[in-house]
Homo-oligomer: A and B are copies of this chain.
Amino acid sequence: MDRQRTDKNEETSAQGRPTLKTLAFMTGLGVTTVSRALKDAPEIGAETRRRVQLVAKQIGYRPNRAGVRLRTGRTNVISLVLNTDREIMSFVSDIIYGVSEVLAETPYHLIVTPYSRSQDPMEPIRYLVETGSADGVIISRTQPNDPRARYMLEHGMPFATHGRTDMGLVHPYHDFDNHAFAMEAVRRLASMGRRRLALLSPPPGLTYYGHTLNGFADALSEVDANEIPFNTVSIDHTIEQIRMRTAQVMRRDVRPDGFVSSAAAATLAIVAGIEDAGLKLGRDVDVVSKQSSDLLHLFRPELLVVNENFRLAGSDLARSVLGWIGGAAPGSLQSLVVASGVQALTQPLLA
């Protein structure tokens, strides 16, 4: 009983999907030649090259990713490593969109590699490096001495960090200038006559915690205002925790008349806490907050805001990783975005 269709190399009939062999048969060339013609190798005749590329486009040839990956080790994948419970919400989608935007023009796919509470942040990184599941990695929640960055550097895995490190190692990053943000915020509050300022900081441990604190402190001494300690909470705490702590502080005799908040969601909690204490935003106290989408003005028009663009961060990070993969010097792939300045949400006249 002979087998129906051996189909071993029946060049003839409908394959599921064109491969190099299909193209080779159609053009009458060898698969090597076809492979080379498609990637503009120098030793292919101009005429042949054109013919192959034409046919390839005609029949909609797409290289098989598994084939390429198996042969070359190149995955055409960028991994975005995310903390599944700590990352602030809107943040993530914006970054993803920014990254996608850039990768869409390339053969790269974006995979999201999560890690969650109680997990070692190194674990997803080790996984990616050991299994070679990606050609490049993007991480966030960057620390001054970040073991993930060090590890990837040691193992030759291209990456970019959202936020800087401070280990004397050079690698691509995208960062928002939180030192400048904190300074501007303090200056603005001081210019409104506020002198007792509190800072709701990023979580200690992350690099921009330090940047923010330093900016805050630097500006304080510049404008001769005082800090009201508010460091038992950070933007990583729950809304409820921040709200209660704010209310508590606001009921003291010596209470803040100005807040600097590093995240929009936390700002909602601060304002709620202020009002819990029976005080009024804009009269008793002013708040400068970062925001990543333009919603705070709907909440309280008296708020002062600084915008941080996470979509830009995403596309910047993606470009940096691709650049490194493409052989650019990692030191040339760093960007620091300086705040656009503090904006009042309503004209003082209308207030």
Q: Which residues of A contact B (CB under 8 A)?
A: 17, 60, 62, 64-67, 69-70, 75, 77, 82, 84-85, 87, 89-94, 96-97, 100-101, 104, 109-114, 116, 130-133, 239, 243, 265, 268-269, 271-272, 293-295, 298-299
Q: How far is the CA of A130 from the CA of B104 in the complex (A)?
A: 17
CB distance from A140 to the nearest CB of B (A): 12
Q: Which of A67, A100, A272 has most B Cβ within 10 Å?
A: A100
- Chain B residues with Cβ below 8 Å from A294 are 239
| Given A70-B70, A84-B101; A112-B114 close (CB under 8 Å) | no
* Given the contacts A93-B92, A96-B92, A97-B84, A239 and B295 also touching, CB distance less than 8 Å: yes
A239 x B70 contact (CB < 8 A): no
In angstroms, how far is the closest chain B Cβ from the Cβ of A305? 14
Which residue on chain B has the smallest CB distance to residue A93?
B92
Complex formed: what's the CA distance from A130 to B17 in Å?
8
9 contacts between A and B (CB under 8 A): A65-B131, A92-B92, A93-B96, A101-B116, A111-B112, A268-B298, A269-B298, A298-B299, A299-B299
Q: What number of copies of this chain does the assembly contain?
A: 2
Chain B proximity of A315: nearest CB distance (Å): 11
In the A-B complex, list the 8 residue pairs whose CB atoms are closest, starting with the nearest: A92-B93, A100-B114, A66-B69, A66-B70, A268-B298, A89-B90, A272-B298, A109-B111
Contact B65 A299 (CB under 8 A): no
B contact residues around A269 at 8 Å (CB): 298
A110 touches B109 (CB 8 A): no
CB closest residue in chain B, given A127: B62
Judge whether A96 and B112 touch: CB under 8 Å: yes
| Among candidates B91, B111, B114, B243, residue contacting A111 with C-beta atoms closer than 8 Å | B111
State whether A89 touches B239 (Cβ < 8 A). no
Closest to A296 in B: B268
Residue of B with least CB distance to A131? B62
**What is the bound-complex CA distance between A109 and B128, given in angstroms?**
11
| B239 with A298: CB separation less than 8 A | yes
Given A66-B66, A111-B111, A271-B298, check contact A93 B97 (CB 8 Å). Answer: no
A98 CB → nearest B CB, Å: 9
> How far, in Å, is A345 (CB) from chain B's closest CB?
11
Beyond contacts A69-B69, A239-B298, A271-B298: 7 other A-B pairs, Cβ-Cβ < 8 A, are A70-B70, A82-B100, A89-B90, A93-B93, A100-B112, A268-B295, A298-B299
